[in-house]
Structures are given as structure tokens and as C-alpha cells.
Amino acid sequence: MKKLLLIICTMTLALSSRAQVTTTNNNGNNKSVVYFTSDISSKSLIKIYQALGREASGRVAVKISTGEQGGNYYLHPELIGEFIKKINGKLVECNTAYGGSRQETAKHRQTIENHGFNKIGGVDIMDEFGETTIPVPKGSKYLKDDIVGKDILNYDFMVVLSHFKGHAMGGFGGALKNLSIGCSSTNGKAYIHTAGKVRMLQADTWAPGNIAGVDEFKDAMAEAAGAVVNHFDGKIIYINVVNNLSVDCDCDSHPHEPKMKDVGIVASLDPVAIDQACVDMVFNSPDEGNRDLVERIVSRHGTRILYWAQHLGYGSRDYELVHIK
């Protein structure tokens, strides 16, 4: 009986997610194009980038997650190295705001070395030497600005290269989380996690009275993500690798083992559309291993970030999926 209820629940959620995609967006714009390939390889990563038709030029930042020490589901150098070389990009990241192997720059650099990123040019920790602020989109409710690593100002173009997976607080992590939490400094992360209550990381940042509610956190992330999107003013692209689909993120040193099979690589010029497409692929997958990830996304109100990001005007949940062979 319990198994039957779980199956019914999963089917219902999948249908609900699909209905979100077919709804015409509020602005009446044409559908955003999302490209997809089921082949997860260096060659396909380059091919799907080329399909976007927007060349990474100038000083190119490639925003990744370097992964917490102990985890192994981050995007490995062996997969992304040739792509980084082709676009002459520089991997960028920021320090975290919690205890672990990446909160302090020295430990973070050791993690970068341990995970092999120095073999493909190393990583610019953007908040190593300070932070700066950039404007959030008009209509933001919680953040007055976005506190980011100051080295973001050194780049002309950004490639948001994300590992799509679950997340303990966000429900899922993809392009929008990589833009928001990923580009924020240590203080910026505290600012987002408290939905604008705390601007500097301090002893009581994680106290119950400061931590944002489930929905407020998603809205604050959407506002911070929009700040980075607007900062690069069209000189930005998004690629999600949908593999190693743990319910936990790469910031977890002991993530749960993935139960769902790898899906592929997804790319778009629209950060909302790409994450919506990835969520739909999880919800609508015939793979019964998707149940835990579906539950994680639903229980954390994960899709709320998509609605608020669309409301802020920098992306659409309505998209057309184009398969790349």
C-alpha cells in the first residue's frame, strides 16, 4: 500500500511539473531554447556550447563548484578540462560560509589541489582579497544588493557551468544556485541564507531567528542570481551537467549515493529555463530512482526559485527543448 501511494505521489508531482512548462509565460515572450544531449563527455560539452551561438570572449570566468573535501560528485577536471581550454576560460569560485574544507582560502586551495583543478589552470577564489556589491533586480523583496567576490569585476564574460543535483536547503542546485550562492562572498552567503537579515558572517548567523524561511531563502537566491545575470548584461551562458544525481549538493562532504541514473548535458542562454528543464527531466523520468530527488525538491519548495526569478524578469520557465546529436 505504501509503495502504491509513493508511485501515485510521484506521478502526480511529475504531471504538475510538466504543466508548469507548458504554461505561457507572463511576458508573452517566445519560448527560451534549451539544448540537450544524453552524452556526457568532453566532446559533447564543447558541442552543446557551440550550439548556443554565443561565443565566450574577452576575460572568461567559468563558475563551477570545487566540491567539499570528502565528496566526489562535483564536475571533474577530466570532463571539463578540454572545454575550459577551448574557450580560454578561468575557473572561478568563492569561499563558503560554513565549517568545512572551503571556508578559509588556504583550506580551499588545498581542496582545489586535491580535486585536480590545478591541472587545468587552477581556480580564482573571487573573494580571496575582498568583496563588492552589485545591484539586485528591481522588485527584489529581501536583498538590497548582492555581496559577491570582488574579482568578478575582472571578467568580461561568465560561463555558469553547474552540476545539477539535489540540495538540502534549496531542493535542487543548478544554474540559479551557482549564480547566487556560488558567486557570493562568505558574507554574501550569510546575507542570502538570512534573506537580508545578516550582512556579515558572525557567530549567530545560523541561529533560528536569523535563518530565512523555506520560501524566503528561494526568493533571496533568485534575487542574488538576477544580480549576476544583469551584471554580465548578455555576456553569459549556462550549462548544467545532470549526473551523479544525489539528493545532496557538492557542498556536502558526505552526500547520499545517487539512486537516479545520469541524464545528460543541458545548455541555454536562459538561467530559469535551463533549471526548469532539468527539474522536468527529473520529475518526468521513467527511472524509479528519481523518487528521492523528487521528494527532496518538493519538500524544500525547490521550484519556488524558478517562479520568483521569472517574476523578476531575467528568465522564463517556458522553453523549447532541442536535442543535440
How many domains in the chain?
A: 1
Per-residue pLDDT band for 325 (boundaries 50, 70, 90) equals confident
Q: What is the rounded CA–CA span in Å between residue 136 and residue 265?
A: 29
Using a pLDDT cut of 90, give the percent of the chain over it. Answer: 85
Render pLDDT for 291-316 as a digit per residue (tens, 0 to 9): 999 999 999 999 999 999 999 999 99
Query: Does 322 score more than 60 pLDDT?
Result: yes
Element (H, E) at 114: helix 105-114
The 10s digit of each residue's pLDDT in 5-42 is: 333 333 333 333 332 332 333 445 589 999 999 999 99
Domain that holds residue 6: 2-22+31-323
Q: How do residues 202-219 score in pLDDT, each as one tens digit?
A: 888 989 999 999 999 999
pLDDT at position 237 is 98
pLDDT score for 262: 98
Q: Write down the pTM of the prediction.
A: 0.90
For residues 62 and 112, give the distance between their C-alpha atoms in angstroms, rounded to a whole number.
15
Buried-exposed string 80-101: b where 16+ CB fall within 10 A, e elsewhere = bbebbeebebbbbbbbbbeebb
Q: What are phi and psi of 301, to 5 degrees?
A: 55, 40
Q: Residue 104 has which C-alpha cell?
A: 578559509
Per-residue confidence (pLDDT) for residue 99, from 0 to 100: 80
Instruction: Report the chain's mean pLDDT, rounded to a whole number.
Output: 91
Residues 193/212, Cβ–Cβ less than 8 Å: yes
Lowest-confidence region among 12-26, 99-113, 267-281: 12-26
What's the confidence (pLDDT) of residue 26? 40
The CATH number that applies at residue 61 is 3.40.50
- CA 290/CA 266 separation, integer angstroms: 18
Do the Cβ atoms of 273 and 319 come closer than 8 Å? Answer: yes
Q: What's the rounded Cα separation, in Å, for the pair 81 and 76? A: 8
